[in-house]
Amino acid sequence: MQQTSVDRQTFLNRVRQSGLMSSKEITDAQPHLPETNRGKTVARRFVELGLLTKFQAELLLANRLNGFFLGQYRILEEIGQGGMGRVFKAIHQTMNRTVAIKVLAPQHTKTEKACKLFQREVRAAAKLLHPNIVTAYDANETDGRLYLAMEYVDGPNLDQLVRERGPLPIGLVCEIVRQAALGLQCAHEQGMVHRDIKPSNLLLQRPQDEAGPCVVKILDFGLARLNDKMQQGKPGEGTILTRDNTVMGTPDFLSPEQARSLHNVDIRADLYSLGCTFYFLLTGRVPYPGGNALDKLIRHSSEQPQPPDVLRPDVPLVVSALVRRLMAKDPADRFQTPADVANALTNLAASLSGSWSVVTGKAASSNSTGDTGARHETRGLDFLEDSGPEMPVMVTPQAGTWPPDLALTPLVVEDDPKCDKPGTGKTWLIWLLAVLCTLLALTVVFLLMRP
């Protein structure tokens, strides 16, 4: 975000024009401002006084005078980006409630498909009310912008937590997966499938008391399928529409059946993804590291990952067996409902050693605004320092309520439009040939090694 030198009065005029503060509020703040003509120094003081956020000050210094309000919501920070838009931390001015708002990107609102996808996400979110699912509060359209207001979660996502702190305590992991399963059970009872369960879509809500338990929150039912009753073989009204040759999901956590067909999946596909997440939390690595998206999809269908207890010897065999069952290639061999998973983990979560205290250190201070404790907040104010030349400031995508996708492979894998859809025709034949070639190579090696 390019900034130019701004004097004191120019910055105060911009604050007034933006509507973030009234003339009276600016006048009342004057005695607390430093005696300087540098607008950047004045902006820093506004942030320190809590009258503006760093995000708002940055935009004002860059001469952005609008975009601070969305209906009744006052925008505080940008906290991330999703596939179809941006997400902001905001406050409802009447209710004084902090929320996360997903705003559909302007270029997408012109397409009928994008609007339908967004409306489908809103309908999906409105059906879900559970302690382990991010709550949807409001959806509306203002000045041609579609938005969804959601619960603001003050805590890290699990991808971020593991990358910062490494594999988590076993008892803690069991409790995390148990709570996630309870949330998925609620969705299952509403006839819904998430279809993108992964560590970065699971958040930990920090407790008010550091000694208290955290709560797992499932984020982003944007890929969820509303399993409406099918009439005459046609998909339900809420079914997500995509090109036939598109695979939606994250390859590191994608079930074999979802790779073949986005639509012909049920809750057991989410359980497979939950098993991959379980694996990641225990070991600190994805089940099939390395390779490109297609490599991963093939391995999910044809290869067993290294058992968690091999990579981490302190993992009990019973826990490793649960992961293996969740990640069974055939859906019939998995747990059949999320409630079954939660029941299987209840005693393990209670009996195994492990504490929520792992998230009360460095990672716990990382919240939905992307700040990582006071150290990070101080660094965030550096752009307002008096010393040194004025430099351009970038608004960094934040982690938390809408985490940046840190997966090793893309969210959407799209083949050449001329190819057949996954699971049929040429694409499936390529996968089958790859598996057969691998088996043939192993056979040749075995024969050559015989005496």
Per DSSP, the residues of 101-145 read EEEE-GGGTTSHHHHHHHHHHHHHHHT---TTBPPEEEEEEETTE
Cα torsion through 159, 162, 407, 263, rounded to 10: -50
Report yes or no: 167 and 177 within 8 Å, Cβ to Cβ: no
d(Cα 159, Cα 162) in Å, to the nearest integer?
5
Residue among 337, 308, 336 nearest 323 (CA): 308
The two structure tokens encoding residue 160: 């971020």
Domain 158-241+248-359 is found in CATH 1.10.238.10: no
Measure Cα distances from 198 to 89, 254, 280, 306, 399 in Å.
Answer: 22, 9, 9, 19, 15
- Can you give the pLDDT at residue 156? 86
Active-site residue, from 196, 220, 309, 405: 196
- Can you give the pLDDT at residue 358? 61
What one-letter code names the amino acid at 134?
Answer: V
d(Cα 235, Cα 207) in Å, to the nearest integer?
42
- Can you give the pLDDT at residue 248? 58
According to DSSP, the residues that pair with 217 across neighbouring strands are: 203
Give domain limits for the chain.
Answer: 8-61, 71-151, 158-241+248-359, 416-449
Q: pLDDT 10s digit of each residue in the chain, 451 long?
A: 555 688 999 999 999 999 999 999 999 999 999 989 999 999 999 999 999 999 999 999 999 998 899 989 999 999 887 666 788 999 999 999 999 998 887 776 677 777 777 777 777 778 889 999 998 888 888 887 888 898 998 888 899 899 998 999 998 999 999 999 999 999 999 888 888 899 989 998 877 766 667 889 998 775 554 443 333 344 443 334 344 444 556 788 988 888 887 677 889 999 999 999 999 999 999 999 988 888 888 899 889 999 999 999 999 999 999 999 999 999 999 999 999 999 999 988 887 755 566 665 544 333 333 332 322 232 233 334 333 333 222 222 222 333 333 333 333 333 333 333 334 444 455 556 666 766 676 665 566 566 5
DSSP 200: G
The two structure tokens encoding residue 366: 């990382």
The two structure tokens encoding residue 162: 């593991």
- Return the residue matching tokens 């999906």: 124
d(Cα 371, Cα 377) in Å, to the nearest integer?
6
**HSE-CB of 364 using CA atoms within 13 angstroms:** 16
Measure Cα distances from 29 to 17, 45, 68, 150, 400 in Å.
Answer: 16, 10, 20, 32, 32
Residue 323: CB atoms within 10 Å: 25
Q: In what order do the strands lie in the sheet with 69-70?
A: 69-70, 73-81, 85-92, 97-104, 145-151, 136-142
- Can you give the pLDDT at residue 195? 86
What one-letter code names the amino acid at 408?
Answer: L
Could you confirm whether 196 is annotated as catalytic? Answer: yes
**HSE-CB of 255 using CA atoms within 13 angstroms:** 31
- Can you give the pLDDT at residue 154? 85
Q: Model-level pTM greater than 0.85?
A: no
Contact partners, residue 327, CB within 8 Å, separation at least 6: 272, 275, 276, 279, 287, 305, 334
- Return the residue matching tokens 């019939």: 332
| Phi and psi angles of residue 138, each rounded to the nearest 5 degrees, phi first | -160, 150
What one-letter code names the amino acid at 203?
Answer: L
- Can you give the pLDDT at residue 223? 52
d(Cα 380, Cα 346) in Å, to the nearest integer?
41
d(Cα 400, Cα 369) in Å, to the nearest integer?
7
Fold of 71-151: Phosphorylase Kinase; domain 1 (3.30.200)
